Amino acid sequence: MTDRRIYFLGIGGTLMGSLAQLAREKGYRVSGSDKALYPPMSEQLARADIELYEGFDPVQLDPEPDLVVIGNAGLPRGHPGVEYVLERGLPYTSGAEFLGREILADRWVLAVSGTHGKTTTASMLAWILEQAGLAPGYLIGGVPKNFEVSARLGSAPFFVVEADEYDTSYFDRRSKFVHYRPRTLIINNLEYDHADIFPDLAAIQTQFHHLIRTIPGSGLIVAPAGDDHVHEVLQMGCWTPTARFGPPSHRQPLEHDNGELWRAEEAGGTAFDVYLNDTNLGRVHWSQLGDHNRMNGLAAIAAARHAGVQPERAIDALSDFAGVLRRMDLIAQIGETAIYDDFAHHPTAIRKTLQGLRRQVGNDEIIAIIEPRSHTMSLGTLRDELTTCCAAADAVFWFRGENIKWDLSEVVQSCVVPARQFDDLDRLMDELAKLPPRRRHLVIMSNGSFGGIYARLPERLKAAITPD
């Protein structure tokens, strides 16, 4: 144990809580606070023997720490913790900069970026390296079911990190991932998101271009073959060999394309065959749904190969991949009704998730239960896409939370499937409980706690089918 003391302001967030665990694992004395602390992060932090506080009080910084790490969510100028640190002249940094400087320095960083699929793909990649005996470090913005925690130091040299394009902190408006300096980079896809900080897609593409400028010529970029927005970023300048995955494109290859095309062919059910150009390398047998997960798997296999893992070994590892909590996580089976928890909070993610489920369950009824809670969704920036993203479902129940600043009824009226709007969560659950018995799949989609619906809805449905 070192005498160096580190205090995390905003410790309850995914990045900050994971960083706190890594700092503790390195032997630092770690404490921190947040407005509120929730499982599973609060449980992980407690197991790591980290001193936690709900709410900020200056006494938490007595004696003064050697460094304060300031998070991004809900920590602007005016926050009492931020103001105290500035007034006292305490040394401080951002979470992303702390990660880059204290954790990732001298490591072979494999970064997973993109609008969708970062958590799942990073989990796949870490699991492949683990099964290959490389004992990687990792920091993942979720809870991978194949591991007990969302972050660990692991053994040098390899470290897998979920690379987020959101801005770093109130004092550093660059994207977090520019601090990570990867040797291997996956770009899963690229769409407009984070409307609260980016005015348009071009602004996001600029940040991805900055990320690409940090990758050495001996590194590797793994990018989709058919994503025009990613292609435009690579055209802005690329100095690193680039492998492609997914359906082939008819565009002319870019200068640094290395000639590798990874693709998947369905092999019945959820299984798929992995091809490198025209060579069949093996078959993945897993339970993950949807074409988007096959693309995630291809990207992970290609990145792992750059780290020295043979594709055949990576394919075997993916066949044992258990998934990630809150990514189409089956949380209850009540009679003939299956209830899933899914983190999807962007129209494209909603569409792909529901399409994957539809292909798996055939004509069973699917009802999407959606809380448009993210900054982009709550601002109504992508409202037109919300009317069609649920087409694979039979019906959609929209929940209008207090953060929604626009008229959700416009989406309800224009939705391509039967849709209803609810402002009261109890009423929404009551209506679901009244539905006649049949084979049914309820997909809860939100990036938040959704008023505790994940525990409350199964109990409500149980009560509805249980005689008094």
Cα dist from 181 to 305, 385, 421, whole Å: 19, 34, 44
What is the distance between the alpha carbons of residues 402 and 275, in angstroms, rounded to a whole number?
Answer: 47
Domain boundary among 318, 347, 380: 318
Same domain, 280 and 416: no
The answer to whether residue 405 is domain-embedded is yes
How far is Cα of residue 236 from the mean position of the Cα atoms in its chain? 26
Same domain, 116 and 226: yes
Share of the chain above pLDDT 90, in %: 73
Per-residue pLDDT tens digits for 178-187: 999 999 999 9
pLDDT reported for residue 253: 87
pLDDT reported for residue 380: 65
* Per-residue tokens: 247: 């359906």
Burial code (b: 16+ CB inside 10 Å, e: under 16) for 49-88 equals ebebeeebeeebbeeebebbbbbbeebeeebebbebbeee
Same domain, 174 and 253: yes
Confidence of residue 345 (pLDDT cuts 50, 70, 90): confident
pLDDT reported for residue 376: 64
pLDDT greater than 60 at residue 35: yes
The amino acid at residue 413 is Q
- On the CB side of 434, CA atoms within 13 Å amount to 6
Question: Residue range 25-30: average pLDDT?
Answer: 95
Q: What CATH number is given to the structural domain containing 21?
A: 3.40.50.720
Same domain, 288 and 349: no
The amino acid at residue 281 is L
Q: What CATH number is given to the structural domain containing 308?
A: 3.40.1190.10
Question: Residue range 145-162: average pLDDT?
Answer: 94
Domain boundary among 318, 352, 387: 318
Q: Which residue has the higher pLDDT, 292 or 300?
A: 300
Same domain, 125 and 178: yes
Local structure of 292: helix, strand or coil: helix
pLDDT reported for residue 375: 65
Q: What CATH number is given to the structural domain containing 403?
A: 3.90.190.20
Lowest mean pLDDT among 93-102, 190-199, 397-406, 441-450: 397-406
* Per-residue tokens: 87: 């007034």
The answer to whether residue 449 is domain-embedded is yes
What is the distance between the alpha carbons of residues 432 and 418, in angstroms, rounded to a whole number?
Answer: 14
Same domain, 83 and 108: no
Question: Residue range 452-460: average pLDDT?
Answer: 92
Confidence of residue 239 (pLDDT cuts 50, 70, 90): very high
- Mode of pairing for the β-strands spanning 184-187 and 172-175: unpaired
Same domain, 334 and 307: no
- On the CB side of 427, CA atoms within 13 Å amount to 9
Per-residue pLDDT tens digits for 370-426: 988 776 666 666 777 888 999 999 999 999 877 777 788 888 898 999 999 999 999
pLDDT greater than 70 at residue 467: no
Q: Give the angle subtended at the CA of 216 by the CAs of 211 and 217, to the nearest 5°.
A: 125
Taking the CA atoms of the chain, what radius of gyration do you get in angstroms? 22
Same domain, 211 and 251: yes
The answer to whether residue 421 is domain-embedded is yes
Same domain, 86 and 143: no
The answer to whether residue 324 is domain-embedded is no
The answer to whether residue 26 is domain-embedded is yes
Query: What is the distance between the terminal CA atoms of the chain, rounded to a whole angstrom?
Result: 58
What is the distance between the alpha carbons of residues 92 and 18, in angstroms, rounded to a whole number?
Answer: 18
pLDDT reported for residue 193: 83
Same domain, 161 and 216: yes
The answer to whether residue 323 is domain-embedded is no
**Counting Cβ atoms within 10 Å, is residue 433 exposed (0-12), middle (13-18) or buried (19+)?**
middle
Q: Pick from 203, 257, 214, 212: which is nearest to 237 by CA?
A: 212
Confidence of residue 201 (pLDDT cuts 50, 70, 90): very high
Same domain, 301 and 361: no
Per-residue pLDDT tens digits for 77-100: 999 999 999 999 999 999 999 999
pTM of the model: 0.87
* Residue 426 structural domain: 329-465
Same domain, 302 and 336: no
| Number of domains the chain contains | 3
The answer to whether residue 356 is domain-embedded is yes
Give 57's strand partners.
none
Share of the chain above pLDDT 70, in %: 97
Q: Pick from 285, 267, 283, 263: which is nearest to 275 by CA?
A: 263
121 in Cβ contact with 299 (< 8 Å):
yes
Which range among 191-195, 347-351, 393-397 has the greatest average pLDDT?
393-397
Q: Which residue has the higher pLDDT, 396 or 465?
A: 396
What is the distance between the alpha carbons of residues 311 and 305, in angstroms, rounded to a whole number?
Answer: 6
What is the distance between the alpha carbons of residues 277 and 268, in angstroms, rounded to a whole number?
Answer: 21
Local structure of 243: helix, strand or coil: strand
Q: Which helix (H) or strand (E) holds 124?
A: helix 118-131
